[in-house]
Amino acid sequence: MPTSLVQTESVLAIEVGTAVTRAVLFDVVEGQYRFIAVGKAPSTAEVPFKDIGIGVREAITALQEITGGQLLGQGNNLITPSQPDGSGVDAVVAVISTGPVLRTVIVGLLSDVSVQSARRLAETTYARVVEALDLSDHRKADQQLDAVIRARPDLVILTGGTDGGASRAMLKTLEAIGLACYLMPAEKRPMVLYAGNEHLAGEVHELLDAHAGALKVSPNVRPSLEVEHLDPASSELASLVVNLRRRQLKGVEELNALTGGMMLPTSYAQGRMVRFLSRQYESTRGVLSVNIGASAASVAAGFNGEVVLRTYPQFGLGENLSGLLQHTDIEGILRWLALDIDPNAIREYLYQKSLYPGTLPATSDDHAIAQAIARQALYLAVRAARRDFPNDGRAARDVLPPLDLIIAGGGAVGEGLSLGQSLLLLLDAIQPVGILPMLVDQNNLLPLLGVAASRNHFLPVQVMDSGAFIGLGTIISVIASANYGEPILRVKMTYSDGTDARLDVKFGGLEILPLPSGQSARLSLQPLQKADAGLGPGRSGTVTVTGGAMGVVIDARGRPLKFPSDAVRRRELIKKWQYTVGG
C-alpha cells in the first residue's frame, strides 16, 4: 500500500487483564504498520493497589525499556501526541477484561424466544445471569420485584416484543424494573439495556431514565419471531460494560479519557476482528478465535461476516476456577494428564489458583495440572459456543464444522508454553476438522487490533499481514472409524525443490512433516477405510499446504477425541503425543 494512504501515527494499545497488563506499540515502518514491541506488568486492579493505572504505567515503563524511546514524561504522564524528538505517541486505545463478573438480570416475554436472545446477548460479555423473568414466571409481582432486588444486579437486559407488536405486557415489565431500580441505593442501581419492541423507546426513556444507573436503547434483537440480530445490541452492551468498569475500578476513568473513549471490553474487540477477518479473507467456511486467560474463556466464530461471540467467565483461569467443578468433573481434567495423580491435588490447585490468580506453577507437576485445567476449560467453552453456530455451519454431533482458520490467544496459550505444547493444547481442546492453518497470538494482539481499527482502518490489515502472529503450520485432521494402530491415510508431501516425504498414518497417532514458515508444498492424501482427511469420506486429492513453526501436523486421533479406558494406557498415549510435538 502506498505510504500516502497510511495515516502515519503511532498507536499505543493498552490491554488491562486480570493477571497481566500489556502496553503494545504499533508504528509505521517503511510505509506499513508494524507491531513494534510489548511491555508487560502485573495487573493492579486488586489489592493491595486497587488502581489499574499503576499497572498501566508499569507496562508502559517496560515498553520504554524495550524500545529505548520515551513515552512517559513529567509526573509519569504519557506524552501525547508524539513530539519532534520522537518521544510520545499519537493515539491511545485500550481493552479491558479485568473486574468482577457482572451480575445480570435478563427480562423478556417468551422464555424460549426473547429470554434466550437476552441470554445469548449477556454471553457476549463478562456477565453471569443471576435472575430471569418472563411471562411464564408464576411468582407474584411483589415476589418478582424482591427477586430482582435480592439479585443485586450490575446490569439488566430487557428484550421482548416484535417491532410494532403487543406492548401491554412489555410496559408492565418496564414498570416493574423501574420500581426495582428506584428501590435500590442510587450508587448501586444497575445499568439497563433495552433491546425489545422499538415502538416503545419513548416509554422506556420515560420509565427508566431517572432510575437506572445508565440506560441504553438498541434496535430490537428480535424484530420478528424468526429473526435474531444481536450485533447492534452487543455494541451498546459493550459501551455499558465500560461504564460499569469506570464505576467499579479505580483508574478506568483516567484510561478511558486518555483514549478519547476508544476503550472496549476485550472479548467484544476480539469479536470485531473475527468479523473483519471472515470478510477480509472471504472465508467460505468460518474463522475461529479462542482466547483463554484469568478472567474468562471467549470464543468468536465468523461465518460469512456474521459473528457468534460467547464469553464464559466461569471458564476463566483466575478467581472463577473454584467453581469449575460445577461444569465438569475431576475425571474430565484427569484425562488430559500423563501423571498418576491424586484427584485431591486437582481440587487443591483449583482453590489455590482461584485465591491467587497471579501465581505461576512452581513444579513440573503443577505445570502439567495447569495445562490440563486449561484444556478442559477451553474444551467446555468451545463446545458451549458451538451450540450457537449457524445451522449451515454445524457438523455431526460433538464435532466442529470445518473452518478456514483458527487463531488462539490468551495467557494459557501464549505464555509459559513451548510451541509444541501450545499446539497440543489447542488440538486437544478445540479438536478441529479438515485442513486449515492455525495461528498463535502470543502477544494477545487480536483484541487490540479490534479496538485500534476504530482509530485507523489500515493498521489491523497491515499488522495481520506482517507476520505478527506465529503460524504453527497446517493442520490435517482425520476422521475415521478404525482400531488403534490401523493405517488410515497415506501421505506424500512434495517440496518446492522436488524432493518428497512419504508417510503411512495410523489411527490414534500424531505425525509431523517438517515445512518451514514461508514455504509451501504439495500434499497428496490417500485415505484408507473411508477415512476423511478433509476432502470427504474416502476421497483422495492433492492440496497446497503452507509451513509454520511446527510444519504440517496430521492429527489422526479421530473426532471426537477418545481415550483408552485403561488409565495406564491412556497416560502412555498422552506421553507419546507430547513427545511427538516436542512437549
Checking if the pLDDT of 168 tops 60, the result is yes
Checking if the pLDDT of 162 tops 90, the result is no
Q: Grid coordinates 445469548 are at which residue?
A: 120
Q: What confidence category does residue 5 fall into, taking pLDDT thresholds of 50, 70 and 90?
A: very low
Backbone angles phi, psi at 296, to 5 degrees: -170, 165
Checking if the pLDDT of 264 tops 60, the result is yes
**Gap between the Cα atoms of 287 and 299, Å rounded:** 11
pLDDT in tens, 500-549: 999 999 999 999 999 999 999 999 999 998 999 999 999 999 999 999 99
The neighbouring-strand residues paired with 178 are: none
Tell me the DSSP string of 153-220: -SEEEE----TTS--HHHHHHHHHHHHHHHHS-GGGPPEEEE-S-GGGHHHHHHHHTTTSSEEEE---
Checking if the pLDDT of 3 tops 60, the result is no
Written as nine digits, the cell of 280 is 477480509
Written as nine digits, the cell of 396 is 455431526
pLDDT for 291 equals: 97
Checking if the pLDDT of 392 tops 90, the result is no
3-class secondary-structure state, position 374: helix
Whole-angstrom CA distances from 347 to 324, 343, 354, 363 are: 10, 7, 11, 17
CATH 3.40.50.280 positions along the chain are 102-248
Q: What confidence category does residue 320 fall into, taking pLDDT thresholds of 50, 70 and 90?
A: very high
Nearest-5° Cα angle at 425, 379 to 380:
5
Backbone angles phi, psi at 132, to 5 degrees: -135, 135
Peptide bond between residue 357 and the one before it cis (omega within 30 degrees of 0): no
Checking if the pLDDT of 149 tops 50, the result is yes
3-class secondary-structure state, position 69: coil
CATH 3.10.20.370 positions along the chain are 3-96
Checking if the pLDDT of 2 tops 60, the result is no
Nearest-5° Cα angle at 142, 140 to 148:
105
Q: What is the CATH number of domain 3-96?
A: 3.10.20.370
CB-CB neighbours of 503 under 10 Å? 15
The class of domain 102-248 in CATH terms is alpha beta
Lowest mean pLDDT among 39-43, 155-159, 387-391, 467-471: 387-391
Checking if the pLDDT of 99 tops 70, the result is yes
Q: Mean pLDDT across the chain, nearest whole number?
A: 93
User: pTM score, two decimals?
Assistant: 0.94
DSSP state at residue 78: B
pLDDT for 393 equals: 41
The neighbouring-strand residues paired with 154 are: none
pLDDT in tens, 359-373: 888 888 999 999 999
Written as nine digits, the cell of 547 is 509451513
CB-CB neighbours of 419 under 10 Å? 18
Lowest mean pLDDT among 135-144, 163-172, 338-347, 380-389: 163-172
**Gap between the Cα atoms of 327 and 425, Å rounded:** 20
Written as nine digits, the cell of 219 is 434496535
**Gap between the Cα atoms of 284 and 213, Å rounded:** 43
Nearest-5° Cα angle at 16, 10 to 19:
135
**Gap between the Cα atoms of 263 and 97, Å rounded:** 11
The neighbouring-strand residues paired with 436 are: 475
The neighbouring-strand residues paired with 532 are: 479
Q: What confidence category does residue 389 fall into, taking pLDDT thresholds of 50, 70 and 90?
A: confident
Percent of the chain with pLDDT over 90: 83
Q: What confidence category does residue 4 fall into, taking pLDDT thresholds of 50, 70 and 90?
A: very low
pLDDT for 330 equals: 96
Mean pLDDT along residues 2-9: 55
Q: Are 525 and 535 in contact (CB under 8 A)?
A: yes
Mean pLDDT along residues 76-83: 92
**Gap between the Cα atoms of 277 and 467, Å rounded:** 15
pLDDT for 583 equals: 66
The neighbouring-strand residues paired with 478 are: none
Lowest mean pLDDT among 50-64, 118-132, 390-404, 538-552: 390-404
